[in-house]
Amino acid sequence: MSHLIELTDIYKIYHMGDTDVHALDGISIHIDQGEFVAIVGQSGSGKSTCMNIIGCLDVPTSGTYFLGGVDVSTMEDDQQAEIRNKMLGFIFQQYNLIPKLTVLENVELPLLYSGADSTDRRQAAMKALERVGLADKCKNLPSQLSGGQQQRVSIARALAGNPSVILADEPTGALDSRTGREVLAFLQELNREGNTIVLITHDNSIAVKAQRIIRLSDGKVIYDGPADDPRAVVQPHEPGEEDPA
Amino acid sequence: MSFTQSFRLALKSLLTSKMRSLLTMLGIIIGVASVILIISLGDGMNNMINSEFEKMGANLLQVEVMSPNSSRTVTDDEMYQLAQENPGTIAAVSPSVTVRATVKAGGDTLNASVSGVGEALPSIQSVELTSGRFLYYVDVERMQNVCVIGAWIDQEAFNGAGLGQSLRINGYEYTVIGIIEASDPEGGPTSYSDNQVYIPYTNATRLNGNATISSYLFSATSDQANNAAKAAIESRLEQLLGSDDYYMVVSMSEMMSVMGDITGTVMTVLVAIAGISLLVGGIGIMNIMLVSVTERTREIGIRKSLGAKRRDIRRQFIIEAGTTSAVGGVIGIVLGVSLAQAVGPLVGIEAAASTVAIVVAFGVSVGVGVIFGYLPANNAAKLNPIDALRYD
C-alpha cells in the first residue's frame, strides 16, 4: 500500500439499451506521492471516466481503488464527499467558480464543508490566494476577472484545503495559449513544491509538461511511462476518426 | 455549510431578482396579512363586546316575568325579599320598568328612553355620574319626581348644565339630580346609556297605569355565584308562579360565554380560510425553489465536488426557502398590522394586533417555507455530482 493512488483492474460499464459500453476496460494505475502524471486520450478513450473515479465522483463497476491506503471504490455518496473534501483538489476546464460568491468565498468553500472555523478559513483561503498572486482581488466577483485569473482562483480553491492530490481536468482548455502556458508552469511549480498532480488532457503538447504519461484508448491503458519517451506521444491509429478538439 | 452564509446568499438572491422574489412571496404576504388583519379586528371586536358586557354588568341576571293572570304575580317586595334571603349569592336587585313616555325640555321633545329603576342600580350596572347623585331609597319610597339623565340628554336639553333643571315626562315635572358620564365621547343618542332617563320605579309604575312589574335586574355577588344566584331566583319564581313557563332568567356571564363561543368559531373559520392562502404561498415557494434548483444544478455540482454532503446542500436550499418565506412573513405582518389600523376605525373597531398573533404568524410563515422547501432541497441534495457538473 505504498502508492498514493492505486487503481487495480477497474471496469466501468454503462448499460445503453441492450449493449454494454465498457468505458474503462480493466485498467490498473499506480500513482505515487509527488508525481506529476498526465492521463491522455482522445474523447471516448475513457479518460473522463477515469478522472471521475480517481476524483471520487463516481464508483467503478468492479475493481478496487485505494486512495491514501483507504478503499474508496465502494463508498456511499456522503463518504465520497468527505474524501473529496479532505484529499482532492479539483481544477476544471470551465473554472467552475460560483458566480454569486466573491473570489475569497469561492476559495473558502472546501474549508467551509470541512467544518473549519471562520478565522482559519479566511487565513487559509488568503494564503492560497497569495500563492496564485490574486490576494488583492479577494473581494471581487469571478466575472470581474479574466479567464486566466479565474483559473488561478480555481487553483487557489484546489490548494486551500491542502489536498493530497490535485486533479486538473483540461485546465488550459478554455484559455489562450499564453495563459495556458502560465497555468501549466504554475502546476509544474506546485509539483516541484511536492504536490501530487494528475492532469487530464487530450492534448499531447500539454501532456508532455508532466513527468509521466498514461495514455488511454478504448478504456485500456496503452502507454504508461516517462513523458520524454517518444512512444508517449504516438497517436494510436484510429481510422476514420478525427480528434474533435 | 454555515448558516450565516446560506442566509446571506438567500437574501442576496432575493434582492437581485426583486420581481421574481415578490411574486414568490406574494402568497405568503397575502396569507399572513389577512390572518393578522382578521385576528386584529377579531380581537378588537371581542374587546369591544366584552367592554359592553362589562358596562351592562358582568354579574347581571335579567329576569322577565310573564304572568298568566292577575292572581299569580310577582311583586317587587317578593323580589327584594328574595335578595335579602340570599345574601351569599345575590348582591343587589332593582326592578326595571320601561316607560313609553314623552320627554320634553322647554318646548322640545327629546328622543329619550325612560326607565324606572331602584336605588341599587349602580351596584348592578355601571352608572358613572359626572355630577349630582343617583336615586336614593327615599326617592323611590316617596315617589319623588326626580331623574338621572344621560350625557346626551344633558347636552341636548340643557347645554351640559342640566343639574337642578327640570324635564317634563308625560307632563309631570321631574328635577334632574344627576348626570351620567358620556359612554361615547363622540356623543350621539346611539350609545346605551347616553339618552337614558332614570326615574324611581315606583313613579314609573304609576306612569304605566299601575301595571305589574315584569322585569328585574339582579346582580350576583361574584362570578362564581352566578349560577347559584340564577338557581335561587328560578326556584323562587317557580314557587311563586307555579310553573317554569312564566319566567326567564338570563345570566350575562352565560351570554358572554355564548357570545365568546360564536366569535371564536367565526374567527377560527376566517383564519382557516386565510390559512389556505398560506398553503398556496407555500406551493408557490416550492415551485420557485424547484426552478432554482434546476437553474443552479452546476453550482450544486461544484459544491458537491468540493465536498458538500447531501445535508449541506439540503440545508442551503431549506434555509433559502425559509428566508424567502420569512421575509414574506415580515412584509405580511407589517401589511396586516397597517391594514388593521387603517380598516379598524372605518368599521368602528379598535384593532388590537396581539404579539402572540404576530409571533405565531412569523413562525408559521418560516415553517411553511421550510416544509415546502424540503422537497426541492432534497432533490438538489440527491443530484449526482458528475451530471450536475456537466449541466449547462
All residues at 6 or more sequence positions from B213 whose CB lies less than 8 Å from its CB, including other chains: B65, B74, B75, B76, B95, B96, B97, B201, B205
- Chain B environment of A55 (Cβ under 8 Å): 305
Does B288 fall in a domain? yes
Q: What is the CATH number of the domain that holds A160?
A: 3.40.50.300
CA B312 – CA A127 distance, rounded (Å): 25
Confidence of residue B70 (pLDDT cuts 50, 70, 90): low
Task: Compute the nearest-CA separation of A33 from chain B (Å).
Answer: 21
Average pLDDT over residues B166-194: 77
Task: Give the pLDDT confidence of B267-307 residue by residue, as tens digits.
Answer: 899 989 888 888 888 998 999 999 999 999 999 999 999 99
Average pLDDT over residues A227-238: 72
Under an 8 A CB cutoff, do A113 and B389 touch?
A: no
Q: What is the mean pLDDT of chain A?
A: 89
In this structure, the answer to whether residues B218 and B329 fall within a common structural domain is: no
Under an 8 A CB cutoff, do B305 and A114 touch?
A: no
Q: What pLDDT, on the 0 to 100 scale, is given for residue A18? A: 87
Which of A27-41, B56-70, B183-197, B324-338 shows the lowest mean pLDDT across its residues?
B183-197
Other beta carbons less than 10 A from residue B326's beta carbon: 23
Domain count along chain A: 1
Interchain CB contacts (distance < 8 Å): A and B = 62
Indicate if the pLDDT at residue A220 is higher than 80.
yes
Indicate if the pLDDT at residue B193 is higher than 70.
no
Task: Give the pLDDT confidence of B95-114 residue by residue, as tens digits.
Answer: 999 988 889 988 888 888 89
Domain that holds residue A114: 36-48+76-232
Under an 8 A CB cutoff, do A113 and B1 touch?
A: yes
Task: Give the pLDDT confidence of A48-92 residue by residue, as tens digits.
Answer: 899 999 999 999 999 999 999 999 988 998 999 999 999 999 999
Last residue of a domain, one of B224, B245, B266: B245
Average pLDDT over residues A156-175: 91
Task: Give the pLDDT confidence of A83-102 residue by residue, as tens digits.
Answer: 999 999 999 988 999 998 89
Give strand ranges (E) for chain A. 5-16, 19-31, 36-40, 62-67, 70-71, 88-91, 165-169, 196-201, 212-217, 220-226
Nearest chain B residue to A166 by CA: give it: B306
Cell representation of residue B57: 354588568
Last residue of a domain, one of B212, B245, B278: B245
Task: Compute the nearest-CA separation of B312 from chain A (Å).
Answer: 8
Last residue of a domain, one of B245, B271, B302: B245
Other beta carbons less than 10 A from residue A11's beta carbon: 15
Does A150 fall in a domain? yes
Task: Compute the nearest-CA separation of B339 from chain A (Å).
Answer: 37
Annotate A30-60 with DSSP letters as a single string.
Answer: EE-TT-EEEEE--TTSSHHHHHHHHTTSS--
Nearest by CB to B306, from A52, A85, A100: name it. A85
Q: What is the mean pLDDT of chain B?
A: 87
Query: Taking a contact as any Cβ pair under 8 Å apart, which residues of chain B between 55 and 114 contact chain A?
Result: none
Domain that holds residue B111: 67-245
Does A112 fall in a domain? yes
Task: Give the pLDDT confidence of A92-146 residue by residue, as tens digits.
Answer: 988 999 998 899 999 999 998 998 888 999 999 999 999 999 999 999 999 999 9
Does A241 fall in a domain? no
Q: What pLDDT, on the 0 to 100 scale, is given for residue B187? A: 47
Under an 8 A CB cutoff, do B9 and A100 touch?
A: yes
Cell representation of residue A8: 487495480
- Chain A environment of B2 (Cβ under 8 Å): 112, 118
Cell representation of residue A10: 477497474
B389 at the A interface (CB within 8 A)?
yes
First to last CA, chain B: 24
Nearest by CB to B299, from A55, A82, A98: name it. A98
The runs of H, that is alpha helices, within chain B are 3-16, 18-56, 76-85, 121-124, 137-141, 151-158, 201-207, 226-241, 252-295, 297-305, 310-347, 355-381, 385-390
In this structure, the answer to whether residues B48 and B88 fall within a common structural domain is: no
Indicate if the pLDDT at residue B333 is higher than 80.
yes
CA A237 – CA B196 distance, rounded (Å): 114
Under an 8 A CB cutoff, do A82 and B312 touch?
A: no
B296 at the A interface (CB within 8 A)?
no
pTM of the predicted model as reported, rounded to 2 decimal places:
0.75
B17 at the A interface (CB within 8 A)?
no
CA B45 – CA B379 distance, rounded (Å): 46
Query: What is the Cα gyration radius of chain B?
Result: 33
CA B151 – CA B171 distance, rounded (Å): 22
CA B119 – CA B103 distance, rounded (Å): 21
Q: ipTM of the assembly?
A: 0.91
Task: Compute the nearest-CA separation of B12 from chain A (Å).
Answer: 9
CA A225 – CA B266 distance, rounded (Å): 83
- Chain A environment of B311 (Cβ under 8 Å): 78
Identify the sign of the CA torsion A216, A221, A225, A231: negative
In this structure, the answer to whether residues B87 and B221 fall within a common structural domain is: yes
Does A19 fall in a domain? no
Cell 465520497: give the residue.
A80
Residue B247 one-letter amino acid: Y
Which of A227-236, B114-123, B314-323 shows the lowest mean pLDDT across its residues?
A227-236
B13 at the A interface (CB within 8 A)?
yes
In this structure, the answer to whether residues B178 and B323 fall within a common structural domain is: no
